[in-house]
Chains A and B, each alone.
Chain A
Amino acid sequence: MNDTVDLNRMRDTAFTAQVEALSGQNISACYQCGNCTAGCPAGFAYDVQVSQIMRGVQLGLKDRVLRSRSLWMCLSCSTCSQRCPNNIDVAAVMETLRHMARKAGIVSVPKMEKFWLSFLNTVRLFGRSHEIGTMVLYMLRSLRLHTDVDLAPTALAKGKLGLLPHIPPGGAEPVERIFTRYKERAQREGVRP
């Protein structure tokens, strides 16, 4: 980790250009003030702070950036984007990096991906999110059987956890079709769905 960063060898300008193109953000506008890091509510859980991720993208340190756990701990709350003095949508850059990492087969925090897949599965099945379904699927996938179970009785009592899924009037098929389309495209492009 603390080896000298050989900028001749490790600098990948194509990576920087790709992040700029996919996120629609001008990465060179970042002057490293640190406002994004200062305001990040998930910063305590980051291995690399968001301003450092921006720096890594500027330098084209692809591997280091895509392997960071921070990409997966980001809450997408967009506080960073709101505070950026240079109008960079930093959250969009984080989102872009997350997709790039996943397509490259790098998932530094696997249980995060498991949670997402669980959530998306319920959406595909019912056309809308279903909290209990998400919980059950996540427990099965992650084998973390006790995670947040203690919250369930309170949430149930307050009506925050519907036992039965809400299916929209048109049924779940239209949403299902979106998932199918995405899966087909992923197969065409040879990336992980």
Chain B
Amino acid sequence: MRIGVFVCHCGSNIGGTVDCARVAALARDFPDVAYATDPMYTCAEPGQAAIEEAIHEYRLDGVVVASCSPRMHEPTFRRTVERAGLNRYMFEMANIREHVSWIGKDKEANTNKAAELVRLAVEKLRHNLPLAASQFDVNKRVLVIGGGVAGIQAALDCAEGGIPVVLVEREATIGGKMAKLDKTFPTVDCSACILGPKMVDVAQHPKITLYACAEVEEISGYVGNFTVKIRKRATYVDWSKCTGCGACTEKCPAKKTPDAFNEHTGTTTAINIAFPQAIPKKAVINAQYCRQLTKGKCGVCAKVCPTGAINYAMQEEIVSENVGAIVAATGYDLMDWRVYQEYGGGVYPDVITSLQYERLLSASGPTGGHVLRPSDGKEPQTVVFVQCVGSRDRSIGRPYCSGFCCMYTAKQAILTKDHIPGAQTFVFYMDIRAPGKMYDEFVRRASEEYGTEYIRGRVSQIYPDGQGRLVVKGADTLLGEQVEIKADLVVLAVGIEASKGAVNLAEKLRISYDNHGFFMESHVKLRPVETNTAGVFLAGVCQGAKDIPASVAQGSAAAAKVLTLFARDKLESDPQIAQVDIRRCVACGKCLRCCPFGAIKETEFRGETKAQVIATVCQGCGLCTSTCPQGAIQLQHATDNQILAEVNALCQC
């Protein structure tokens, strides 16, 4: 074998603390090394050209580049050697920047360590084999999980790109949290007016299949070929017949059903359409409160329905869909703020969440857009907003900032003044985070034009004064004093948490999630939409706190990734996967049980059971290879022999 070694200076990044010329000179004595040199910038165009030339001139059949992390430039150099006619797996990288020059100052020691790492890479390369990728078909359909604004955007962009979309929504209507908002910052646009048309587009688009009241039950397969089982909950209304006329909701006698869409600020009927612009605009029966379903006596909706859509015997149903890519856009929920006893722990009706306040402000809400406080239906004159309730609080395990509360609190303070011109608003804050376009100006407007009093400090206690008002005790840290306000209504800017069931879904999708249940992107800066599972993309708050424009942008970005993936008819599978040596396999089944991707199945070979790797599903994690007691299952490009060769090389140094 003839190996070429290139020890990169990376300007002064490596050259400053490693004697690269000496590493190259040492490398010339390593077995099979036919050529070694130390270029200034190997990744630059002349550097790559030099590698290609050397391959031809010295008839090299393998290349080692000692430079930065393989995460940075392994794909670059693999392409380089491929251009010169070598197999891309006949290339190895020694990381002498992140692992050597950046972490040590002793040039002598650094040079020795760099030489050792080069020796290791050379030994690995000597045991490498050319590997070839196989190709497989792509099913050009996409599943979008979650019909909030991020999911809607992803679905519409994919559909506009000609890709059939399956959109799954847990609730009875799409629109997510944005549909519940009255206005949006910083323009005070009507939320329903800007989201509504997009929701209608989803309903009307011929390429979009919408499953509302449905959840993803099971996902199997791999990029290009996922099979998804979707559980459609029983709505007790045949949606193919329901016209959304609303006759049933008018006559339904069970009028004390909790109204989840209105955040429990009011009640509704057991058969209900979430709100006037709901998509799909179909009625759904809440089985827990329906008199016919609980007591067997009523049937009013069935009598009044002009199309005979009511079906009390409806059962839930599982449907199966085949897709090639998945976009997760499951959004968020508010945390349970009742852990804060100092705010009343949920006992006082006039201490409400910001999302409840949105419903009170909204014309489609329970008060028809008049701000009336829950306890006595009176117009509040003094409204206190408390920010960071359940955000940035390590003591309850929520150290993160919820991102958009500062902005919507300013918006709600402005809207309060619009609704009740005589009202006085106070905002307790720790820091104002308003980094978006026109955001800080908006917060200034709340204070300068709408007279909102911003108080830098926290609230320690809220209790009723016995005369219908609430005493809010807090601190003004700028003043260095304790302060007290008598308020009619207190609005808590409650922090967000990952959507209920997010962790469960992440496990079905085989994607990682952080300590708080938010899905992990593949790279925090450079791959913010991709996950570590090929073919699964992220959009919206399920990945981390973000506001509407950022969610929409990420929805579009996820759609762009799906369209890019589907631009090719065939996909290449990574050949760095596990392979079973059937002569050694004893069918113990350990690999089958430990594989997190379900990539190993049992097969029959000459009447004996053996393990078999499903090449397209295997992600090359290597769990099976370290579990196999026989050493029968080997990860290509990281076989036991290759790893031992590296260990040997290190131990000889």
Chain A residues in contact with chain B, CB under 8 A? 29, 31-35, 37-40, 43-44, 48-49, 51-52, 79, 83-87
Stretch at the interface among B96-104, B142-150, B452-460, B541-549: B452-460
Indicate if the CB atoms of B394 and A86 lie closer than 8 Å.
yes
Indicate if the CB atoms of B342 and A34 lie closer than 8 Å.
no
Indicate if the CB atoms of B394 and A44 lie closer than 8 Å.
no
The CA-CA distance from A44 to B388 in the complex, in Å, is: 25
In B195-251, which residues have CB < 8 Å from any A CB? Answer: none
In B378-423, which residues have CB < 8 Å from any A CB? Answer: 388, 392-396
Chain B residues in contact with chain A, CB under 8 A? 342, 388, 392-396, 430, 456-461, 473-477, 480-482
Given known contacts A44-B482, A48-B480, A51-B475, A34 and B392 CB-to-CB distance under 8 angstroms: no
Given known contacts A85-B392, A87-B395, A33 and B482 CB-to-CB distance under 8 angstroms: no
Task: Give chain A nearest CB distance to B394 CB in angstroms.
Answer: 5
Indicate if the CB atoms of A40 and B482 lie closer than 8 Å.
yes
Tell me which residues across on chain A come within 8 A of B473, comparing CB atoms.
38-39
Tell me which residues across on chain B come within 8 A of A32, comparing CB atoms.
430, 477
B390 to chain A: closest residue by CB: A85
The CA-CA distance from A32 to B456 in the complex, in Å, is: 10
Tell me which residues across on chain B come within 8 A of A37, comparing CB atoms.
457-458, 475, 477, 480, 482
Indicate if the CB atoms of B342 and A39 lie closer than 8 Å.
yes
Task: Give chain B nearest CB distance to A92 CB in angstroms.
Answer: 15
A35 to chain B: closest residue by CB: B458
Task: Give chain A nearest CB distance to B497 CB in angstroms.
Answer: 16
A85 to chain B: closest residue by CB: B393
Given known contacts A37-B475, A39-B342, A85-B395, A49 and B480 CB-to-CB distance under 8 angstroms: yes
- Partner of A34 from the list B393, B394, B396, B457 (CB cut-off 8 Å) is B457
Tell me which residues across on chain A come within 8 A of B396, comparing CB atoms.
85
Indicate if the CB atoms of B395 and A43 lie closer than 8 Å.
no
Could you say which of B392, B456, B458, B474 has the most chain A C-beta atoms within 10 Å of its C-beta?
B458
Tell me which residues across on chain A come within 8 A of B388, comparing CB atoms.
33
The CA-CA distance from A79 to B460 in the complex, in Å, is: 10
The CA-CA distance from A37 to B477 in the complex, in Å, is: 8
Task: Give chain A nearest CB distance to B478 CB in angstroms.
Answer: 9
Tell me which residues across on chain A come within 8 A of B460, comparing CB atoms.
35, 38-40, 79, 83
A32 to chain B: closest residue by CB: B477
Top 4 A-B pairs, shortest CB-CB distance: A39-B460, A38-B460, A38-B475, A34-B457
Tell me which residues across on chain B come within 8 A of A31, comparing CB atoms.
392, 430
Tell me which residues across on chain B come within 8 A of A51, comparing CB atoms.
475, 477
Tell me which residues across on chain A come within 8 A of B456, comparing CB atoms.
34
The CA-CA distance from A49 to B395 in the complex, in Å, is: 22
B396 to chain A: closest residue by CB: A85
Q: Is the interface of B mostly helix, strand, loop or mixed?
A: strand
Tell me which residues across on chain B come within 8 A of A40, comparing CB atoms.
460, 482
Beyond known contacts A49-B475, A49-B477, A85-B394: 16 more, CB 8 A cutoff: A31-B430, A32-B477, A33-B392, A33-B458, A34-B474, A37-B458, A38-B457, A38-B458, A38-B460, A38-B461, A39-B461, A40-B460, A40-B482, A79-B460, A83-B342, A87-B395
- Partner of A38 from the list B393, B394, B395, B474 (CB cut-off 8 Å) is B474
> What are 9 A-B residue pairs whose CB atoms fall within 8 Å in the complex?
A33-B457, A34-B430, A34-B457, A37-B482, A38-B474, A39-B342, A40-B482, A43-B482, A51-B475
Could you say which of B392, B461, B475 has the most chain A C-beta atoms within 10 Å of its C-beta?
B475
The CA-CA distance from A31 to B396 in the complex, in Å, is: 16
The CA-CA distance from A29 to B399 in the complex, in Å, is: 12
A83 to chain B: closest residue by CB: B460
The CA-CA distance from A49 to B457 in the complex, in Å, is: 12
Tell me which residues across on chain A come within 8 A of B393, comparing CB atoms.
85
Indicate if the CB atoms of A84 and B395 lie closer than 8 Å.
yes
Indicate if the CB atoms of B475 and A34 lie closer than 8 Å.
yes
Tell me which residues across on chain A come within 8 A of B461, comparing CB atoms.
38-39
The CA-CA distance from A31 to B474 in the complex, in Å, is: 17
Task: Give chain A nearest CB distance to B426 CB in angstroms.
Answer: 14
- Partner of B480 from the list A35, A44, A52, A85 (CB cut-off 8 Å) is A52
Indicate if the CB atoms of B458 and A87 lie closer than 8 Å.
no
Task: Give chain B nearest CB distance to A51 CB in angstroms.
Answer: 6
Tell me which residues across on chain B come within 8 A of A34, comparing CB atoms.
430, 456-458, 474-477
Could you say which of A33, A40, A83 has the most chain B C-beta atoms within 10 Å of its C-beta?
A33
B391 to chain A: closest residue by CB: A85
Tell me which residues across on chain A come within 8 A of B477, comparing CB atoms.
32-34, 37, 49, 51-52
Tell me which residues across on chain B come within 8 A of A33, comparing CB atoms.
388, 392, 430, 457-458, 477
A55 to chain B: closest residue by CB: B477
- Partner of B459 from the list A38, A44, A48, A85 (CB cut-off 8 Å) is A38
The CA-CA distance from A51 to B477 in the complex, in Å, is: 8
The CA-CA distance from A155 to B633 in the complex, in Å, is: 83
B481 to chain A: closest residue by CB: A49
The CA-CA distance from A29 to B393 in the complex, in Å, is: 11
Task: Give chain A nearest CB distance to B399 CB in angstroms.
Answer: 9
The CA-CA distance from A34 to B392 in the complex, in Å, is: 13
Task: Give chain B nearest CB distance to A78 CB in angstroms.
Answer: 13
The CA-CA distance from A99 to B210 in the complex, in Å, is: 68
The CA-CA distance from A35 to B342 in the complex, in Å, is: 11
Task: Give chain B nearest CB distance to A141 CB in angstroms.
Answer: 31
The CA-CA distance from A39 to B459 in the complex, in Å, is: 8
The CA-CA distance from A186 to B423 in the complex, in Å, is: 61
B393 to chain A: closest residue by CB: A85
- Partner of A86 from the list B342, B395, B474 (CB cut-off 8 Å) is B395
Could you say which of A34, A40, A85, A87 has the most chain B C-beta atoms within 10 Å of its C-beta?
A34
Tell me which residues across on chain A come within 8 A of B481, comparing CB atoms.
49
Task: Give chain A nearest CB distance to B574 CB in angstroms.
Answer: 44
- Partner of B394 from the list A48, A83, A87 (CB cut-off 8 Å) is A87
Tell me which residues across on chain B come within 8 A of A29, comparing CB atoms.
394
Tell me which residues across on chain B come within 8 A of A52, comparing CB atoms.
477, 480
Tell me which residues across on chain A come within 8 A of B459, comparing CB atoms.
38
Task: Give chain B nearest CB distance to A89 CB in angstroms.
Answer: 11
A44 to chain B: closest residue by CB: B482
The CA-CA distance from A70 to B384 in the complex, in Å, is: 29
Tell me which residues across on chain A come within 8 A of B475, comparing CB atoms.
34-35, 37-38, 43, 49, 51
B457 to chain A: closest residue by CB: A34
B429 to chain A: closest residue by CB: A33
Task: Give chain B nearest CB distance to A40 CB in angstroms.
Answer: 7
Task: Give chain A nearest CB distance to B261 CB in angstroms.
Answer: 32
The CA-CA distance from A102 to B474 in the complex, in Å, is: 31
Task: Give chain B nearest CB distance to A104 CB in angstroms.
Answer: 24
Tell me which residues across on chain B come within 8 A of A38, comparing CB atoms.
457-461, 473-475, 482
The CA-CA distance from A1 to B257 in the complex, in Å, is: 62
Task: Give chain B nearest CB distance to A91 CB in angstroms.
Answer: 14
B473 to chain A: closest residue by CB: A38
B456 to chain A: closest residue by CB: A34
Task: Give chain A nearest CB distance to B468 CB in angstroms.
Answer: 24
